Structure 1
Amino acid sequence: MCEFIHALPNVDPNVLSNQLSRLELAGDGTARSRTPPVDEFPDLNFHPGRGRGAPFDPSRNRFANAVKRPMPPPGQQHTMVTGQRFVATQGSRNRFGPGGAASFGSVRGPPPAPMPRPSPRIKLRPPTLLPTLPTGAALNEMYLEARQGAIRLGQARNACLARAADAWRRGDGAAAKRFSREANVLNERMSAEGAEAASNLVRQRRAQAQEAIQNRGDWSDDPGDRAIKGKECANGLGVVMGIASASSLGPEGNSLSPGERTEVLLDLHMLHANEGTDVLEDFLMALERDSFLGLAYIIVGEDRHTGSQDPSRGASRFRLATGVKQFLARYNYPWSEGGGCICVDPATHM
């Protein structure tokens, strides 16, 4: 369901776009070839407000620019996996294509499998204060309600693309171009609707988590736990789960400060990979600005209801969990995972 709105009709948009871009209508209504080519079909990685190939903006942090810029020519970027540590050498920042994690597939060959790595500062562990959050039918209903506008626009866009393809096969270049332009407009509107839907979903899930955390009872004996549990954090994207008891963390617990035992939550359920990495970027940078020393827990689910990463379905079909882990690996964040939840040390990264 989460991948439905990205489905394209059974045509090759690249071939059709290239052919249409070479057409020029004569006065008698006939079509003839021309150059240079113009991209008429929607760029599915287009971001309203930023455009394609946006220039460097110092007001955006390094992550924002990294996920929106093209890969460098061979020789300017070198990455390797050593044991469980992802190493990115000079030139590896600010080199992703449009669309964040979804654009990893545009690089020739599959990306290296994201490998967890331990934190040199603090032991990564499963959450001790994570309450039960709504899932299943309630989640699906929330998804459909938030994305119904984008879904309708996606259906209309796909219909225009199919009509453009049919017109091209009939030799009607004028109609093909007209439907192509309509599809492009609908795609831009769908992108804007999708971004708004993702923002609404994050806020709704945060509100649900806040309620569950505030009603979880006294799971911690730390005197500061009750005062901060359920509070918003990271510019309202996440919520503080509380301060874990020192005794619940084993021998290491007594050596950790209350700040290091604090656990925060970001729920990215129902987001697509590029949406999730955009939100995660803002979340982690906000925690860094707040000098947060605890652990962050990112809910990504177990990918039971999302599309596969089959290359034949398109390079952008990265699942949310894969996109998040690729993002963390790119910036050497210490992380571990289990049960649809990724633990991150936001205070330690490259």
Structure 2
Amino acid sequence: MSAANTYYVQPLLDTLGHDFGVGSGIAGLVTTFAQVGYVLGLALIVPLGDLVERRRLVTITTAATGLGLLGMAAAPNIAVLMVLAAIVGFCTVTAQIFVPFAAHLATPMNRGRSVGIVMSGLLIGILLARTVSGVIAGATSWRVVYLVAAVLTFALSVACRTELPSSAPTTRTAYHRLLGSVARIYLDEPALRRRGLYGALVFASFSTFWTAIAFQMADHYHFSQTVIGLFGLLGVAGAGCAQVAGRIADAGWGRVATAGFILLTAVSWIAGWAGGSRIGWLVAGILVLDLGVQGTHISNQSEVYRLRPEARSRLTTGYMCTYFVGGVTGSALAGAVYGAYGWKGVCLLGAVFPTLALLVWLTEARWPLRTMARG
């Protein structure tokens, strides 16, 4: 429910462009602004998970997200919608507080599996957000999508307060020193930097696809908002690999699995290219893309959370900020590339990112492929 809030907009981009009288490049910036806000939230809010009681923190962030969603439902123009999307993105980092929370509660030997379980829910929320958004907007309007999202998020805030266990802070440092320690940890941990780069490149590919696909489906296939949203259901299969990827990481094969998942992300764009005119290939491309991206993400997080148990919220900040810089890059370029070069240009752009990730992974090949999980 929390992660979905940033992704309701994706099947609505073509409709927003028509309603506000703007092109695909401008409409696509709504997604970009949401992701920029999310990066700022990762940098400024998520580290607080090590400093304050987590249950109280997520209760506050979900309530603030609900207020932002109400504002989006009433936005009078595209500029206001962009600003509010950034605010919602900033506050809706609750999901990234849940993940280190789960890692904190898990035993060392089950940490990858536990992270995978929570990530399965998070990823399904991201993917079903497109379906829910498309169906509601097709039956009513895009504004109702955000009104419903606001009500659900306020309900989530209440659930967080009443159902989650309390969690004692793991550090007592001052807030400004806490933020400074994120940078120090990032610089001191090469594995964190490398995993962040893998994540950024595959998420850039993911964002490229899901930002541009709404325009392609509306322009070439003439699909309605409802049908465009239903395509989000295809990605649920990719979310199902989250627990599998977590178990692979627990067994010590996370690094070789990472290469396999990155390769799947790259290969998916071959099907995506053919899917520009044949819907069956487009479906295949979506399935493989989501499988590759989600598998890479879980493998990355399982390895990152082994580094410093006392600083998992700050590790999340370092990793996810890098991750979403990739997402911002992909979504910002996708609308412009689609407007200038069409779907084939988008496919070339999307394939470049995982190809670069594979090249980076090859520099790691001098190390053993299997490394035992550290407790």
Question: Would the TM-score normalized by the shorter structure come out above 0.5?
Answer: no
TM-score (norm 2): 0.28
Tell me: higher relative CO, structure 1 or 2? Use CA pairs within 8 A at least 6 residues apart.
2
Q: Which is helix-richer, 1 or 2?
A: 2
Q: Which is strand-richer, 1 or 2?
A: 1
Bigger Rg, structure 1 or 2: 1
